[in-house]
Structure 1
Amino acid sequence: MSAKRTLHEGWTVTGDPGAPVAVEAIPASVPGEVVADLLAAGLVADPYVDEAERELAWVGRRDWTYRTAFAYEAADWDGVELAFDGLDTVARVSLNGTVVGETANMHRRYRFDVRGLLREGANELEVHFTAPYTYAEAQRDRLGDRPNAYPEPGNFIRKAACNFGWDWGPNLAGVGIWRPVRLESWKTARIDAVVPRVSLEDGTGIVELDVRLKRAADADIDLVCAVARPVDGEVVAEAELRVPAGSHVATVRLEVENPGLWRPRGHGDRELYDASVSVRSGDVVLDDWERQIGFRTVELDTEPDADGRPYHLKVNGETVWIKGVNWIPDEALFGRIDAARIERRLRQAVAAGVNYIRVWGGGVYESEEFYRICDRLGLLVGQDFLFACAAYPEEEPFWSEVEAEARDNLARLAPHPSLVTWTGNNENLWGWHDWDWQGDLGDRTWGAGYYHGLLPKLVSEVDGTRPYWPGSPYSGTRDLHPNEQAHASVHIWDVWNQRDYVHYRDWKPRFVAEFGYQAPPTWATVRRMVHDDPLTADSAAMLWHQKAENGQDKLQAGLDAHLPPVRDFDDWLYFTQVNQARAMRLGIEYFRSLQPYCSGAIVWQLNDCWPVTSWAAIDGEERLKPLWYALRDVYADRFVTFQPDGDGLNMVVVNDSAETWEGVIGFWKCNAEGRIIGRALVQMEIDPRDTAVLELEPGAIPMDGEFLLTGREDFPRATWFTKEDKDMDWSKARFATEVAPVPGGVAVTVHAESVLRDLCLFADRLDPDAVVDKALVTLVPGEHVVFTVQSEKIAASPELQRALTGKPVLRAIND
């Protein structure tokens, strides 16, 4: 038998004497972190607002002490342990004045034996955290500095790198008990770990359960293992194994005949099973373990071909075209992240057509809830090991910490069928080649031993069912440049940093693991994060919430290349958001037109961790930017795009569905007034997961100042413009509107009397909680569109409904 009791109540946190703010035993949230506690106590300003972040730089340079008391009733247990699922980061744990253990890794779990230290009645638990900067800088001084993309010592501590700030995130490098803590009591034996290795052999599901036990007594015990269907509880495989006295490990093999498969979204239904392990002594259950698993195969096909080296992810033997997004921690203050927030974000990803989430290496190994939700939704997950944009020392204590961290998370995440790949690092192999590291490093270690030695060994040893790739990007061999576009995975950042987004078409990649373009957040989020008066693109707080190097200049260069001059902040906000959406639309449409040569695109990035100008499609207040709507279009299973081919133009039709696409596609050639001057109909029959390329006849290709667009079909509208908006002879936007009630909100119908280019309705300007069903709509005269706005507030207000139909709420590029 066992007992597990959470210890989340009654905590306080105390700061070092002499800190800029006196902190004496204020209430502390567990799980949580110190910055949120200071904010809740009213001792600091909200770091997400204006420039308040800069006033919290001292927090990560101070020690902090967490304390609580709990009552304990003595019982005849063989083992009693404190179990911490996450301590951030360098901590000393004491019970009743006795040190029980020390930690130096945010990314692993810890257990401490406290059986002989507990008292009947009140017990005092203390966790003292050393300042992360104190520890990291001491390690840096001891081992010698190493290159980092940021002037911070985050590569000298096993803590989320983005805690020290990033080009989209704040520096809030605090401390805290950031994941649950429990008191666990047990008799005779308990389960230390279970690693389920799930595979398929000739249609039979195989579950090998590697069980590790913690014993307190030399006695024979039994393992009872089973696999059951969660829908009805039917047991489809079971086995019992006697584990003799003195043995601490056991392996149990279960076979499931003709199991239902777990499939990624867009590739069929998925079935999950309950796997369980029970430890028994006679009829007494000592401990148990249960997780959901799924039967599927996964392989990464990177065998060289005539063009270089592909990067094909195959699930159940079928290549999946990756429609991906990069994921960062969804909040800078990790204690605010709960299962409901994660589910909202992942469902937003699914609604945008996403089938793959890359968990980026500068963050964390995500929570159990994250992977469980991905399992249910059919989202594939690629998990980076936690190294990003820096050279990492391999000397002790780091080598041992990295090994323990990897072993722990490989075992913890093994049950999840959504998790399909492990990657060694983010951009560190690229950094060693191109970022002037080699001269600075000399003969000092920088992480290669992890990426090419330790980590692949551990993935094979602990997991054994998922592929490993040394880095993102990586070309498949150390003899090649790691970002060679004809070989495996690449990151494309010259476009944002140096060149206009039309230059995505200069690349011919096999797989794009990162590429992105910036824009500010939604209006409601801007007004939450800054209170500048006047509010301008370069007002002080707006610039503080722009962390990218020369970010505002790059945004302006993009506007200058494509759009008319901005007249005010409203124009700037709308134009930059449209430009972000257009950049990513162009890139993804082009990459998808290359399939199967190109096998996927992973947008940087899905989400934000605070309100900021960034590459995200969903801003830090959970609101959808226009980019999200563009992703929904270009990640559709069936879509059409016009692509240049020398002096000609092709129509590329992509069918990423499981059914043949058969039908007629119509498109129009229009002049700048939107008058249709040519029509074409194309009869198409495209096999599942296939692409067709049609070369347009010269007469169908628009001339200077004309444009193409497909009809109002059952796929997202495709367009092709011969000039940039700044050079097009658009007439000023003319339209009529109607507003009508619908359940939970209103419907706004816009009737086009001229061309309306990238029409958007920004209802969050009237109600921060309003949600609109579409954006970036291009119409020609005579067409109409209906925007559905979910907002009880707007539905109840005739004044707000009137405001829906004009600027700055309703916008078109040519308004």
Structure 2
Amino acid sequence: MGLQSLWVLGALVVDVVPGLGCQPSDLLEAGKMAGRPSMGSEVATFVLSACVICDSISNLLMGRSEGRPGVFIKCFEGEPQAAGLRAPCRESPATAGGREDWGSTAAQLSFAEAWQESFAAWLRDLSELRYELNFLNSSIWSEQTWTFSTNFSVNTRLFASTGSRLQLVFDGIKMGAVIRVNGKALGKATSQFMRYTFDLKPEDLRAANGANRLEVAFDSSIPVGGRFMACSGGWDWAPYTKTSQDGVKTFSYGIWKHVYLIYTPIGLASITHVAPQIFFKGMYPTEALVDGHHEGFTVKVKVFLSAPAAANGTLTLLPSWRPRVSRRISIPAGSSNHTVEVVANATDIKLWWPIGMGEQHLYELGVQFKGDDLTGLTRTTRRIGFRYFALVTGNDTDPAYVARASTEEGTESQGMYFRINGAAFWSKGANVIPMEELEGRMLGKAHRVMVRSAAEGGMNTLRVWGGGIFLPDEFYDACDELGLVVFHDMMYAQRGHAPERTHVQDTELRHQVRRLSSHPSIVIWDGCNECTVTMGSATEIYATFVMSVVAEEDSSRSIWPSCPAFGWSTGVHKLDSAPNGNPLTTPRKSETIEVHGYYQHGNGFPTMNGEIKMHPFKANLPIKVSTASTGLDHRSIFASEFGAVVMSSFESMAPTLAPEHWGLHAGQSSDTCKYDVRDHNQCQGSNVMAQRNYPCDNLINAYFGDHSDSYFNKTGEDIFKQQLYQCMLSQALILKADIETRRSSNQFGCLVWQLNEIWPTGGWGSLEYGTPVKGQVLGGRWKPLHYLFRRSVFSDIMATCGLAGQCYVKNDSPRPFQGRCSVVALSLRQWQHLQMMTAALTLS
């Protein structure tokens, strides 16, 4: 293909090599400038080879999910923000033997050579990793040193202005890799969660219109310190892979986000991050704020710039709720940051509320930098919302406590609940895990659908779990728009993914907090998943390093040591748990205010998870209703994880199994598995269902009568549908009873483990795997449990009965309830019902 020219913001011509299926007009939003455009007057962003980005090495080898061999070229759904310009991409399959010469340096295979019958047959055999046991062959690609390579061309007129700069940017690389241009090593990538930026000097590039070779060589021998998705290769779900990196499980690697170039002329700067922090100007509120009748907010906007040379200019905020605010600044060469404040008066804005409590009002915040000697400028925008959030641990219904605590630090141990804009609310929702084991296949639209399903299921809170990834922008945008608050772990977990005080991890944390800081839905940052933070032990690093870095970057949000945690001794304001600038320390011992569990595991069949022997359990029916006092002024608990194992539907699982294996025991001889209470089991054999998470035998027996192995050993479409549906109903009944029991007590947080699945098989989710491949529904098909969430379990007003005829009605809405409650006894034997009582109710 020949070269084409592309106008960037009407000011700069950049030569690009068009990618397959991507048009130059797709690469940038055209901006408008007054006057005649002049060379070098804008910051330009353009995508290498017109957005040729491979998702992961396993996807590269596997091709499209339909099984056709080929290189699957995918453009990350997010948008690069480094220069304030947007570069939308499309996805396109590359043709065999095409211009994109991706290859394996270890096996000495280039794809131009590899479309021989034997290699093509090998690809077809492995074309669908989810099928049967194909994923166990991951060592075929993980034990090679694969090199992603492509050509790009840059017009050397970009360097006509002395001191200008061209940078190569990777928004996401997983994980140990060396980046080279024209054979010169630019650096290494060792964290999946970092953005990597490399300067390209004129001497690094070839003459005008010459082909520059970009190579990214992945090498498993490069130490990465566990800085990748912790659940890659298995967690307390399947599949478990046979491959590892630095001694911990992994599965895939590759370029999973945007790759692009940024050109910055002398006298200008690129905007690398915009981090708005929003502070309520009034006193601590314990009653719901009212639009137009509160003290307003201060917005402190920290703008991070990167310039090729020192320059003077004007930094301007363009808030949609009031006139612009400008500040003269001088910037040095390299990186710098500058803070500009703007006020939001109550009469100018409306508050952002969680779903069910009010509307989700969002406002545009534009940021631009204009150099003194140039007609061009750099500009970007963020969306923000105005809300005041507090993670409450004391009795803030007592005015005396509020007055005393307003000058104190640390947290209390009376309980844990949330307030937003002064209104306390019951936090109901689920934990979010990655939607995909192969991160490069993630779709922004699927994340939006998943968040909408959470909202429609009655949820108002989602926890981003620390064993996964920082999610795509579309997830957070959807939470902003739909009103789901986000309780956000840093990406640290046990099993080889603990933090180290390194430059890489410091940079990673700062990048992600800055990247996500504009989202009003994110209300809490916490340090890790299930890593109790104890001062004087190895885990104090979460306080002294991880959360200290987070607190430096964002003092506007509540912070928490871990999930779960006992709270803080120092370092946070007592009333809302936001950082106060002092060192963070945790108490040695405290009352429990946040818990994980109970979890109903599966057993009764040899699998990679769970005990092999059958351990029957009694169904919690009817429930035991608590008689404890309830209210904000009483001791309370926040349950941030609890759940029950489950399989997915026949529609989801059948495409991943051969028809002869359509059964909970697969109709095969069982594997020989050695139970390991600390980790997943070690299994020998070829039973495909042994590799698909916990068994469901004990759950089905608890709710549908004891079944012998002969029932579970049956195969066929009808019996498999029955078995899977019984399994899903069992999960729904377990959690319905569990949550109804919890709601009778003084719990102000119920976050189910978990919302979604990472694979079309067994897991813990109320939504199925949501990548749109065969048998799946975009964003995840609802399981029976999710319908129960919407119908009753997560409804604001719920009535249920328990043992000995004890019944209760619970109002967890922000408004009083007046109505009538009827209790009806139903005879299942005679199919008759008897009206027991009717009563008028008034609930605050």
| TM-score normalised per structure 1 | 0.72
CA distance in 2 between partners of 1:102 and 1:94 (Å): 9
Counterpart selection for 2:703 from 562, 566, 579: 562
- The whole-number CA distance in structure 2 between the counterparts of 1:194 and 1:20 is 38
* Alpha carbons 1:68, 1:125 under 8 Å: kept: yes
Tell me if 1:166 matches 2:246.
no
Q: Structure 1 CA distance, aligned partners of 2:625 and 2:251? A: 39
1:26 Cα deviation from its structure 2 partner: 6.3
**CA distance change for structure 1 residues 487 and 219 in 2, over 3 Å: closer, same or farther?**
closer
Structure 1 residue 286: Cα displacement: 2.6
1:113 aligns with 2:199: yes
Residues 501-650 of structure 1 correspond to what in structure 2 (within 5 A)? Answer: 502=620, 510-533=637-660, 535-539=662-666, 544-545=688-689, 551-552=694-695, 555-565=696-706, 568-594=719-745, 597-620=746-769, 621=776, 622-632=780-790, 633-644=792-803, 648-650=804-806
**Corresponding residue for residue 404 of structure 2:** none
CA distance in 2, matches of 1:381, 1:452: 21
* CA deviation string 1:419-461 (max 9, x = no partner): 111111111229x99xxxxxxxxx9x85x14312112212221
Q: Secondary structure in 1 aligned to 2:738?
A: helix
Number of aligned residue pairs: 632
Q: CA separation in 1, counterparts of 2:146 and 2:540?
A: 34
Query: What's the counterpart of residue 33 of structure 2?
Result: none
Tell me the distance in 1 between the aligned counterparts of 2:313 and 2:667: 67
Match of 1:123 among 202, 211, 215: 211
CA distance in 2, matches of 1:337, 1:14: 11
Deviates more, 1:159-168 or 1:101-110: 159-168
Match of 1:421 among 505, 509, 524: 524
Please show how residues 288-303 of structure 1 align to structure 2 within 5 Å.
288-303=379-394
Do the aligned partners of residues 261 and 11 (structure 1) sit closer, same or farther apart at CA in structure 2, a change above 3 Å counting? Answer: closer
| C-alpha distance 291-602 of structure 1, shift in aligned 2 (>3 A) | same
In structure 2, give the amino acid aligned to 1:161.
A
CA distance 1:540–1:410, change in 2 (3 Å): farther
CA contact (8 A) 2:57 2:253 kept: no
Aligned pair in 2 of structure 1 residues 417, 20: CA closer, same or farther (>3 Å)? closer
Correspondent of 1:316 among 406, 417, 421:
421
Which is strand-richer, 1 or 2?
1
- Deviations, residues 454-474 of structure 1 (Å, cap 9, x unaligned): 122122210111111111122
Matches within 5 A, 1:734-813: none
SS at match of 2:781: coil
The 2-side partners of 1:85 and 1:219 are apart by 27
Name the structure 2 match of 1:239.
325
5+ long unaligned stretches in structure 2 = 1-41, 64-68, 77-90, 92-101, 104-110, 112-118, 242-249, 283-294, 399-411, 569-585, 603-609, 629-635, 669-685, 712-718, 770-775
Cα pair 2:392 2:419 within 8 Å, conserved: yes
> How far 1:159 moved relative to its partner?
0.6
Alignment partners' CA distance in 1, 2:625 and 2:833: 32
TM-fit CA distance, 1:353:
0.6
Aligned equivalent of 1:709: none
* DSSP-derived class of the 2:234 partner: strand
Change (3 A) 1:449 1:399: farther
Compare 243-252 and 577-586 and name the one that shifted more. Answer: 243-252
Q: Which amino acid aligns with 1:175?
A: Y
**1:370 match: secondary structure:** helix
Alignment check: 8 A CA contact 2:144 2:219 kept:
yes
Aligned to 2:441: 336
Please name the residue that 1:264 is paired with.
Answer: 354
Question: Which residue of 659, 673, 679 maps to 2:836?
Answer: 679
Counterpart-to-counterpart distance in 1, 2:469 and 2:127: 26
* Structure 1 runs (4+) greater than 4 angstroms displaced: 8-16, 30-35, 37-41, 304-308, 391-395, 477-482, 494-501, 503-509, 540-543, 545-549, 565-568
- Write the distance in 1 (CA, Å) between the matches of 2:509 and 2:306: 20
Gaps in structure 1 of 5+ consecutive residues: 140-155, 229-234, 434-442, 688-815
Which residue of structure 2 aligns with residue 458 of structure 1?
A: 549
Q: After superposition, where does 1:3-82 map in structure 2 within 5 Å? A: 3-7=44-48, 9=51, 27-31=71-75, 42=124, 44-74=126-156, 75=158, 76=160, 78-82=164-168
C-alpha displacement of 1:535: 2.6
Structure 1 residues 201-210 or 79-88, which shifts more?
Answer: 201-210
Following superposition, the deviation at residue 285 of structure 1 comes to 3.2
In the alignment, structure 1 residue 209 sits paired with structure 2 residue 301: yes
1:706 — aligned with what?
Answer: none
Structure 1 residues 495 and 481: alpha-carbon distance in aligned structure 2, compared to 1, 3 A threshold: farther
Partner of 1:83: 169
Q: Which has the higher contact order (CA 8 A, sep 6+)?
A: 2
User: Taking structure 1 as reference, are residues 411 and 9 closer, same or farther at Cα in structure 2, changes over 3 Å only?
Assistant: closer
Structure 2 Cα separation of the partners of residues 475 and 501 of structure 1: 31
Structure 1's 591 and 521: CA in aligned 2 closer, same or farther, altered over 3 A?
same
Shift of 1:563: 1.8
Structure 1 residue 249: Cα displacement? 2.8
RMSD: 3.4
Q: Please state whether the residue corresponding to 2:46 is helix, strand or coil.
A: strand
Q: Pairwise mapping of residues 462-473 of structure 1 onto structure 2 (< 5 A)?
A: 462-473=553-564
How far the C-alpha of 1:20 sits from its partner, in A, is 14
Supply the AA of the counterpart residue of 1:686.
L
Equivalent in the alignment of 1:659: 815
Give the direction of change, closer, same or farther, for the CA distance of 1:13–1:254 in structure 2 (3 Å limit): closer
Secondary structure of 1:46's counterpart equals coil
Which residue matches 1:669? 825
- Does the Cα contact within 8 Å between 1:383 and 1:423 map onto a contact in 2? yes
User: Shift of the alpha carbon at 1:60?
Assistant: 2.4
Give the CA deviation at 1:157.
Answer: 2.1
| Segment drifting more, 451-460 vs 368-377 | 451-460
What's the CA shift for 1:291?
A: 0.6
Shift of 1:277: 1.0
Query: How much does 1:290 deviate?
Result: 0.8
Q: What are the equivalent positions in structure 2 for 1:419-498 lying under 5 Å apart?
A: 419-429=522-532, 446=538, 448-476=539-567, 486-493=592-599
Query: Is 2:339 the counterpart of 1:251?
Result: yes
Q: Judging changes above 3 Å, is the alpha-carbon distance between structure 1 residues 565 and 394 closer, same or farther for their aligned structure 2 residues?
A: closer
Write the letter of the residue equivalent to 1:176.
Answer: G
Give the letter for the 2:643 counterpart.
G
Instruction: Check the 8 A contact 2:486/2:524 in 1, yes or no.
Output: yes
How much does 1:289 deviate? 2.0
Change (3 A) 1:547 1:662: farther
Partner deviation per Cα, 1:761-803 (whole Å, 9 max, x = no partner): xxxxxxxxxxxxxxxxxxxxxxxxxxxxxxxxxxxxxxxxxxx
Report the CA distance shift for 1:296/1:15 in structure 2 as closer, same or farther (over 3 A): closer
1:475: Cα distance to partner? 2.3
| SS of 2:550 mapped into structure 1 | helix
Contact 1:131 1:175 in 2 (8 A): no
- Which of 186, 202, 205 is residue 264 of structure 2 equivalent to? 186
- Tell me the secondary structure at the aligned position of residue 533 of structure 1: helix
Distance 1:676 1:176 in 2: 61
The CA distance in 1 between the partners of 2:638 and 2:763, in whole Å, is 23
The answer for the alignment partner of 1:280 in structure 2 is 370
Residues 161 and 298 (structure 1), Cα distance of their counterparts in 2 relative to 1, 3 Å cut: same
Q: Distance between the aligned counterparts of 1:174 and 1:126, measured in 2?
A: 21
Q: Is the 8 A contact 2:366 2:382 kept in 1?
A: yes
